[in-house]
Every structure is written in C-alpha cells, then in structure tokens.
Structure 1
Amino acid sequence: MPPHPCWLALCPGPACTSSPAERLAQPLAAASAEALGWWALQFTPRVCRHDEAVLMEVSGSLRLFGGERALHERIVAGATDLGWAQCAAAPTALGALALARCGRSGAWSIGLEALLDGLPLDSLREVAAEAAWLSRLGCRHLGDVRRLPRAGLARRSERALLQTLGQAYGEEPWSAPWLTLPEVFEARLELPGRVESAPALMFGARRLLLQLCGWLAARQAGLRSFVLRWRHDFHRRDDPPLGELPVRTAEPTRQAGHLLRLLGEWLARVRLAAPVGELSLFCDEIEPLVEATPSLLPGAVEAVEGESLAQLIERLSARLGSAQVCRPVPRSDHRPEAQQTWRPAAQDDAPAMVPWPSMPQPAWLLSEPLPLATRRDRPQLHGDLTILAGPHRVEAGWWDTPGTAAARDYCVAWNERAGLVWIYRERRLEEGGGWFLHGRFG
C-alpha cells in the first residue's frame, strides 16, 4: 500500500465552459451524484460526497487495478461516459476537489504545496466566501492566503477558512460519511431535449445502464431484469411514468455491452405516444455473480470477448420476437414424434428430466412416416430390408388428441442401398397394418 492516501475527485462539467465560481453555483441533481457514487464503489469502498463532487480514496485499490496510471485512466474514462468530465488526484480529499474544480489533473507523487499554491481563491468554497476582503490584501491564490499571519487571519475570518486550508494541505484531518449501497437501484435522468422516437432514448438509457452496472459490480451481483420508464415532457415530475419497458435476461449478467445491445433491440420495437422528457431505470432482481478468474498459466487461451450463446439468443429474440427463436424441449412420451416440443429460446425454464430410451433411436426422423411396399411379407426400400433388431412395441397416446394414438412395432433394418434405417409395423387395421419408414441412422 502507498505510504500516503490517494484521493480522486470527480466533478461535473468541462473546465473550459465556466469558471470555478460558476461551477460552484450550478445546481447538481442529487440522484445523479448519488448514482455516480454507487458506480465509484466498484473501485473502492471509500467513496463519499462533498459539495458538488464525489471523492474516492483509492490507495488500497492500486495493485488490484494495475497501478496508479491504469486505475486513474479507467476511472476517468468511465466518469466521462457518465457526464462527469473533471477528475483530479491529490494526497488529500479537499486538495483533489480544488484541483478538479480548476480543471487540473493533479498527481499523487507531487507535493501538495506545489499542486495547490497556484490555485485561485474560488477553488475552495470556504476561501471563496472570504475572497472579497482577501483580494484587497493582494491575495490571488491559495498560497497567498497561507502566507498571511495566522493569528490575524483567524481574527478577521471564519474558523472554517483556516480549517479548510489545513485540511486541503494535509495539516488537519478531514472526514466524511462513506456511501453505502441501497438494496434497490433506481436512477433518474432528465433529457436535454424532447425525444420523439424510442431508439433515440438510448443516449440517456446508456448513461443510466452504466450507472446500474457500476452498482452491480460494487455488489458483486448480476441482474435478472430491469425496467426502463419514461415520462412525457408535458407531465409534472410527481406524475407517474406513462411508459415502461421491462427487460429480462436468461442468465445473471452485468456486462454493459450486452445490456445495451439488448435494450436497443427492444427499443427498436417501441412506439412512443408523445415526446419524452425524462427517463428512469429500476432494478431489484439481482443474484450473486462471480467473475471468471483468468488463467495464470503461460500460453493459456483466454476467453474471446463477445456474446455468449445465451446473449445471442436474447438479442435475436428481442429483434425477431420470442416466438421466432425456439429451442427443443424433451418430453416424456413413447411416441418418437411427441418426444420433444418447441418453446421460446429466451425462456429460462428448467430442463425436464426425461428417461433415456430403452432401444436405439435415430437422430433424424421423417416429418411424416413413409409407407413401404412389402414383398413376401418383407418391407422394401431399394430392395429387401433385413431386420437387425426388434421388434420394440410402442402403445401410447390413447389419452391424447383423437387420431394421435400409436400401436407400433419398431425395428432396426438394413440393406446395402438404403443403409441403416428405423421402420415400424402398424398394428392398427385402420392404418393399413403395413410397414413405414420413420427415421435414418446416418
């Protein structure tokens, strides 16, 4: 562990569009900052909110995420996707916050005085409150204030000014309550403009889904379902949402890429009743999810990134409709044509326990049994067929739909031209009592 604390501060808004004082005055939606804090908990359990920022102490996570540079780049990339453009590093929490407000990246390996002395007065809220009379004394930067006589500064200013300076420079302790994860994820996002088509909602939904995946990573869990809700822009905030899209997954997951593709397929089939002004995302159905551990052996083949079969089935079912993507499900029935049924592949039903057949059965069945000619009471298929095994009697289906009952004697037969085939003799006189070809063994 590094010998000193390592703090990161995340602030909203690009530095080039406004001054630090203007950003301090900008209101920030509490839900957005709280959701960013939940997202940050996947990197460290030491996350807190202070003023308009989210602060993270990451000294215990550096080795886990590949070192200072790798962790810093990963957090910056993720925070930028969530709309939080400023990220700064420093050995103290308030020092990192002051740097982030000024658009400086900071560092953990440089002395605090070198990082903070040149910052303007409005980089710290308590100093900005006293900036009017401090500027008349010739103070333009935090270093100028620190060089003033401490006793006189204490008499003329609030105690919070000296305390904040000491905490920013690491001379006094600073603490804040750590964030804790809620049991249920619910985040809201006000869209910057009217959205009139459902696929265009993906811009805002993507930001909410990234927050959700961070919350899941911090809980070491995967989701089974989530609900995207929207409110039309001419309705009040306290009105109930007027539209929602529930999305289920076949297996627990927190892969943002798969969830985004899946949601995109579902939104492509939605038609909005009116323009949308606000989105919200809700998730309460989660399960523990342990990530696969990569191999430590040299030359081991790592898993190829991409969709698994279950994820591909989910995406195709969302695009084509669940009834168009089906999978076979075994059934306990002696009639070969009734030993499986087809169900939507996206359904996660438990597989039925079906006993193994007591006689050889071919992998390929004819859709309709083919009547065979007979010669001297022997079935014909490109010549005489030789019975190799059987008969295996099947009598079933009398309880089922009228006309589907079966009374047959199955045999395995062969000749040089037809190969190995599966035939049966119909025992019901109304069916002709003859021989039929029902399958092939290869």
Structure 2
Amino acid sequence: MLWAALLPEAPPPPNPPRTEALQGLAVWCLQFTPRVAVLEAAVLMEVEGSERLFGGRRALAAQVRTESAALGVAFLAWAPTSLAALALARCGVRNGFAQPLAVLLDALPLASLAAVAAHAPMLARLGCTTLGQVRALPRGGLSRRFDKELLVALDQAYGLRPCAHAWVALPEQFHARLELMSRVEHAPAILFGARRLLLQLCGWLAARRCGVTAVTLRWCHDAMRSKTAGDGGELTIRTAEPTRSVEHLARLLAENLAKVQLLAPVGDLELLAVEVRAFEAPTASLLPDSQQDGESLALVLERIAARLGPQRVLRPVLQEDHRLEWTVHWQPAPAPLPRKSAATSPAPYTLPQPSFVLLQPLPLAVQDHRPLYQGLLQLLSGPHRVEGGWWHRLSDETGTHAQTVVRDYWVALSAHAGVLWIYQTRLADEDTAWFLHGMFA
C-alpha cells in the first residue's frame, strides 16, 4: 500500500486547527484517489491503485509535494500504512520506504502516535522514550495497564492490523471559505488568498472530471468598518470554454481585481463554482504540441477581454444556416460557445464558396436582362437556390422583420474583376434584382 499524510501549518498553541482548511485540503486530494480521510488534524490518502494514472510513484509524489505547498501543507510523508505516514510526517521524515518500516518507526518519539502520546508520562516513568521501546514491553502487561487503543494503534502503524477510515465524500457543489492571515486593504492583494481557493476548486473539478465556465469570488469586510462600506462584495469571472487551469483562472481574476476598489479592509474570502460543465481532457500524443509552451488564442482573448471589457473583444462563431451572411456571427470572447445540436448538422454546399464576402450585397445594374459589373457578366454555374430565414426576426425602429430570403446564386465571370459570386432575388413582393455578394481569390 502507498499512503500519504499531509499536515497543514499548525496555528498558535491555543487555537485548534481550522476545519475548513482540513476539509478543503481533503477535497483537493480527491483528484488523486477516492480514498481520502481526515484524521487527527491531518489528511490521509491511499494512492496505490491510481499512481500509474499520474505517471508513476515519483511523478505523483512530485506533483503532490509541489501543489500541496501552495495550500499550506507544512509536512508530507509517504509510508506503507496510514498511521505510519502520519507518524513520519509529524517527525519530519518524508520517505517511509528508505528503510524497513519497523526500523523507522522504532526510532520515533512517543508523540508521533496520538494513542501512545496519551500515556506518555507513565511510559516515560517506565523508561520508554521511543515507539520501539514501547513495543519491547510485554503485550500482556500493556493490555492490562493501558487501554486497548495503544496496542491497536501500534499494530496498525506497523502493518500488523488493518486500519479502517471514514472516507471523505466529494461534495456536489463547490463552496470554499478562507480567513486571511491579515486584513487586506487593496483588491489585487486578495489574489494571494484566492489562489489557494482556486487550487481547491481545480482539485474538486478534476475529481468530478468537469470544468468551470463561471466562478464567483466573494469577500467580507472587517467587522470594524464604516456603515456605508457594506458587508462586502463579489466578482464573477467567465470563460468561453470549460477549464480547470489554476494559472488561467488566476490571470483572469488578477485582471478583474485590478479594477476593483475596496470600500473597507477584507478579512474573509469565499469561492463558488457557478457554472460547471463536462470537461474533455486533451488527448495525449507522441508528437509535440506547438501550444504546450505557449498560451492558446482562447486564453489570450479572455485575458484581454477581462482588461478591456467583454464587448470590446469579439470572436466569430459558426452557425448552421443556408444564408451565407448568417453562417458566422460575432459574440464576446468570454461568452460560452453555443452547444451544437446532435439532431442537426450543417448542410453541405455543392457550389464553391467565395473567398471574400461583402458586408452588404452590392446592387448590380442590368442590361438586356444580364447583370453588369465592370462590363457584362458571364454566368458560369447555377442557379443554386437558397431559401429560408422565416424563423429569424430582427427588430428596429420600424418594427420586427423576418429575414426570409429566396435567392438563386450564380458563379459569374467578369473580364476585369475575375470570378464573382452573385445572386438573383425571387421574392414575390419586390422586383427581380441582381446583387454581388462575394469574390473568389
């Protein structure tokens, strides 16, 4: 078995460890294994069955050590049993596989196991200062003089008896809270504490195999505030695609916090996952990815939109429409992309599509029922009828109008302008007319 014990930084002696910190650390550990437990102000997790999913034992240990340090973990130890890992972490010993487990545990002090530390004064009068000296005492005398928890804890730590734990359940919704070490008066300084909450959020998302598209950060003002400051404030950030990248969310949050002015010092933070969606992890490939070392275009657009405003950065979105001018529309870059319907699919175009499309079709003159554009046009291919748009209505000052079109498209040749994309209207309420809609490169 492979157990890890994570001990957060201990508060000052009169204060007990905070339950929120232990629970948040346990939720973060659930991304590595479902076998996570909270015991004696520490978090234990068994990763024997999932270490291969993270690249092996060494890669998993390096990842846990690096990321847990940002969550305030002061001591981390690995051992074959849960109580052994906890005892080694309390004594600052990281690797419980460097020597035989019995040799390592025998040298630990009595305080390393809670069940043994409860009887430390009497054991000290018997001349015992280490776990090995306690094990050397007659078991019959230990069972009669001390409670059974002492022998049970020793057997479980040395692997002689199984140990049962109450596993932490993965919450359905994410809501984490953090009390800051000191009061913060400037909004950008909130990011230091918010990053710890983002790490917990991304661990929860990884355990649920999901990503987030909207996150809300709330802050509570200090109790010694003015009445006009209010209880606090909140900030919601959105992404176009589901993500669980800590760095990406932290950058977006930093851009938004730079524009916030606090009305009073802040003492507490809360983080909520507002919109959670299914997340498809990128497929591993043997070939190197050109975007592995850089930032993708979607992340850059979201960061610029957070700085300039969502309406100032737009991105094109394809639509399933037969009308050429409605196949693409522009929306704010941070807005989620519309979901594609499985029942519909874009109709294939048998006619070549132009390389350049005019924003507004250009009316063409007609001579002897033939369209003109820098001379008479020669019709090469067509007609290809496009009809639809009755479902699409736009409102303006004059009312609501349907965008119904009935057109016959042609590929035409101009002696001076080259190959053109033109159409002829066929609406009943207006005269037949020719328009230039696009050009071929």
Residue 321 of structure 1 aligns with an amino acid whose one-letter code is G
Q: 1:86 to 1:416 in 2, by over 3 A?
A: same
Which residue number corresponds to residue 364 of structure 1?
356
| TM-score, normalisation: structure 2 | 0.78
Map residues 366-381 of structure 1 onto 2, 5 A cutoff. 366=358
Residue pair 1:102, 1:123 contacting (<8 A) in 2 also: yes
Q: Deviations over 1:233-274 (max 9, x none)?
A: 2279xxx96211222332222222222222223323333222
**Selected match of 1:120 from 105, 109, 113:** 109
**Selected match of 1:279 from 265, 269, 273:** 269
Once the two structures are TM-superposed, the CA of residue 203 in structure 1 deviates from its matched residue by 1.0
**Selected match of 1:131 from 109, 120, 128:** 120
Q: Does 1:186 align with 2:182?
A: no
Distance of 1:410 and 1:91 partners within structure 2:
74
Which residue number corresponds to residue 251 of structure 1?
241
Which residue number corresponds to residue 279 of structure 2?
289
Map residues 8-87 of structure 1 onto 2, 5 A cutoff. 8-13=4-9, 27-87=16-76
What is the CA RMSD across the aligned residues, in angstroms? 4.2
Q: 1:194 to 1:407 in 2, by over 3 A?
A: same
User: Which runs of 5 or more residues in structure 2 are unaligned?
Assistant: 427-431
Q: 1:411 to 1:85 in 2, by over 3 A?
A: same
Which residue number corresponds to residue 420 of structure 1?
419
Q: Does 1:343 align with 2:335?
A: no
Q: 1:107 to 1:344 in 2, by over 3 A?
A: same
Residue 419 of structure 2 aligns with an amino acid whose one-letter code is L
Residue pair 2:412, 2:422 contacting (<8 A) in 1 also: yes
Distance of 2:161 and 2:103 partners within structure 1:
18
Once the two structures are TM-superposed, the CA of residue 86 in structure 1 deviates from its matched residue by 0.6
Which residue number corresponds to residue 91 of structure 2?
102
Q: Does 1:228 align with 2:217?
A: yes
Once the two structures are TM-superposed, the CA of residue 148 in structure 1 deviates from its matched residue by 2.9
Q: Deviations over 1:96-121 (max 9, x none)?
A: 11110111113235322211122122
- Bigger mean CA deviation after superposition, 183-192 or 57-66: 57-66
Distance of 1:113 and 1:48 partners within structure 2:
24
Q: 1:147 to 1:364 in 2, by over 3 A?
A: same
Residue 250 of structure 2 aligns with an amino acid whose one-letter code is L
Residue pair 2:378, 2:414 contacting (<8 A) in 1 also: no
| TM-score, normalisation: structure 1 | 0.78
Once the two structures are TM-superposed, the CA of residue 95 in structure 1 deviates from its matched residue by 1.4
Q: Does 1:304 align with 2:296?
A: no
Once the two structures are TM-superposed, the CA of residue 379 in structure 1 deviates from its matched residue by 8.2
Q: Deviations over 1:306-331 (max 9, x none)?
A: 54444333333222211112234559
Q: 1:220 to 1:436 in 2, by over 3 A?
A: closer
Residue pair 1:387, 1:411 contacting (<8 A) in 2 also: no
Q: Name the SS for the 1:36 alignment partner.
A: helix
**Selected match of 2:100 from 102, 107, 111:** 111
Which residue number corresponds to residue 388 of structure 1?
379
Quote the sequence identity (%). Answer: 50
Residue pair 1:422, 1:440 contacting (<8 A) in 2 also: yes
Q: Name the SS for the 2:49 alignment partner.
A: helix
Q: Deviations over 1:163-193 (max 9, x none)?
A: 3223222233322211111111111111111
**Selected match of 1:322 from 295, 310, 313:** 310
Once the two structures are TM-superposed, the CA of residue 337 in structure 1 deviates from its matched residue by 6.8
Which residue number corresponds to residue 429 of structure 2?
none
Distance of 2:325 and 2:279 partners within structure 1:
40
Distance of 1:116 and 1:393 partners within structure 2:
83
Residue pair 1:194, 1:277 contacting (<8 A) in 2 also: yes
| Matched residues, number | 421
Q: Does 1:163 align with 2:152?
A: yes
Q: 1:393 to 1:124 in 2, by over 3 A?
A: closer
Q: 1:423 to 1:148 in 2, by over 3 A?
A: closer
**Selected match of 2:301 from 289, 304, 313:** 313
Residue 440 of structure 2 aligns with an amino acid whose one-letter code is F
Residue 244 of structure 2 aligns with an amino acid whose one-letter code is R
Q: 1:325 to 1:131 in 2, by over 3 A?
A: same
